[in-house]
Amino acid sequence: MSFVTIFRATAISIATGCLFISQVSMAQPKYGPGVTDTEIKIGQTMPYSGPASAYGTAGRAEAAYFSMLNEQGGINGRKIKLISLDDGYSPPKTVEQIRKLVEEEKVLLIFNPLGTAPNSAIQKYLNQKRVPQLFLSSGATRFNDPKNYPWTMGWLPNYIVEGRAATQFMTKGRPDAKIAVLYQNDDLGKDYLRGIREGLGERAKSMIVAEASYEVTDATVDSQIIALKGADTFMNLATAKFAAQAIRKVHDLGWKPNHYVISLSSSIGSVLRPAGFEQSAGIFSGAIFRDPSDPETMKTKAYNDYVAFMRKYLPDGDPTDLSNVTGYSIAQTFVQVLRQAGENLTRENIMREAANLKDLALPMLLPGLSISTGPSDYEPLKAIRPVRFDAGRWSLIEE
């Protein structure tokens, strides 16, 4: 073999080797903080104690879902480690816990932290740190602002949109309705109230005859309900504990308004059962999920899969509690983001993929509803369906 032949063979070998190295290099995983070849570490805060503790079961459902997923091999061989800390629904505590997760635990991202006020307290910090505040549990408008807060994305339907749609539904054919409103004195309650006013337009001044607010630290809302009594339409914009109190007090006073309770507080397990099914009969709300107590829902594969999951991985959880359905569904949304991200598990790419969801139909969402996002659209859910509670279950209303 001549020198030239040997040289050419060696050159081809070297070139092939370089190409191989280049391809391997291009395929190498890209990691953000909290990610290794075997693990994806994420953090969250949940109100496992305090005035919003009824919603804390969502965090347990998410942890259970990731446990199930990890048993099945995780995502691309990586197991999801969720560090879920109690913040008691107290913004100062939320700030403390989030700093611990980011600066000490060095998590990849903050996943589904719960509450409008707690999330408002950490929004600026997480955006300055360029840490995803992903699929947080609040529908407040401030969390759909990718221009100013590109690292923050909610998951729940927009409160203003629900307030507007609910008011138009509740006053349809009733131009002389007299409306009383109970709302939480923070961004959550004020967004809903804004939606109600937008839904009424110029009629708001004459149709809203009474408003009362409460603080999350209040013991009860009994005095507010007494002050509101008399209107023929009641918009109950309270979170779970206070919504249940309001439902019961309305009944005890013998007040019989057309009663709407926000979708956040439509859970049979954590709101209507404590308030009493008799006391809750005839109440209206908005829905995004299949009702786990509905006999028709029970016939579906989606329901059977969900209940099987609950029995095995969260046996002490209540399948009828919509917070469990919510946690289950948000966890599924996050898993889809991870699958799309592939081996590029940086914070930047996670946000890119979170903003690239196209008609994701989750099993427990109502038929026709799906998750979609875009670079300028950080609002995954954009529709909600009216429902009425009777005979221990919610029924869809055809408009």
For residue 28, the model assigns a pLDDT of 67
The two domains 39-157+300-382 and 160-287 share their CATH topology (first three levels equal): yes
Q: Please write the tens of the pLDDT for every residue from 355-376.
A: 999 999 999 999 999 999 999 9
Q: Please write the tens of the pLDDT for every residue from 291-329.
A: 998 999 999 999 999 999 999 999 999 999 999 999 999
Q: How far apart are CA 136 and CA 138, in angstroms?
A: 6
Residue 2 has pLDDT above 50, yes or no: no
The pair of three-digit structure tokens given for residue 190, joined into one six-digit string: 């004020």
Note whether 121 and 94 are within 8 A (CB): yes
Note whether 225 and 261 are within 8 A (CB): no
For residue 324, the model assigns a pLDDT of 97
For residue 178, the model assigns a pLDDT of 97
For residue 29, the model assigns a pLDDT of 74
For residue 347, the model assigns a pLDDT of 98
pLDDT more than 70, % of the chain: 93
Q: Please write the tens of the pLDDT for every residue from 138-168.
A: 999 999 999 999 999 999 999 999 999 999 9
> What is the DSSP secondary-structure string of 332-384?
HHHHHHHHHHTTEE-HHHHHHHHT---SB--TTBPTT--B--BTTB--S----
* C-beta atoms surrounding 224 within 10 Å: 23
Q: How far apart are CA 152 and CA 154, in angstroms?
A: 7
Q: Please write the tens of the pLDDT for every residue from 255-301.
A: 999 999 999 999 998 999 999 999 999 999 999 999 998 999 999 99
Residues near 271 by beta carbon (within 8 Å), at least 6 away in sequence = 54, 240, 243, 244, 247, 261, 265
Note whether 115 and 132 are within 8 A (CB): no
Q: Could you tell me which residues are beta bridge partners of residue 284?
A: 260, 388
Tell me the domain boundaries of the chain. 1-31, 39-157+300-382, 160-287
Q: Could you tell me which residues are beta bridge partners of residue 289?
A: 365
314: exposed, middle or buried (C-beta count within 10 Å: 0-12, 13-18, 19+)? buried
Q: How far apart are CA 49 and CA 222, in angstroms?
A: 22
Query: Residue 399: pLDDT band by 50, 70, 90 thresholds?
Result: low
Residue 204 has pLDDT above 70, yes or no: yes
- At the topology level, CATH places domain 160-287 in Rossmann fold (3.40.50)
Average pLDDT over all residues of the chain = 92
The pair of three-digit structure tokens given for residue 11, joined into one six-digit string: 């050159």
Q: How far apart are CA 276 and CA 377, in angstroms?
A: 39
Q: How far apart are CA 322 and CA 328, in angstroms?
A: 10
Chain Cα centroid distance, residue 292: 18
Q: Does domain 39-157+300-382 have CATH number 3.40.50.620?
A: no
pLDDT more than 90, % of the chain: 89
Residues near 99 by beta carbon (within 8 Å), at least 6 away in sequence = 125
Bridging pattern class, strands 385-390 and 284-287: antiparallel
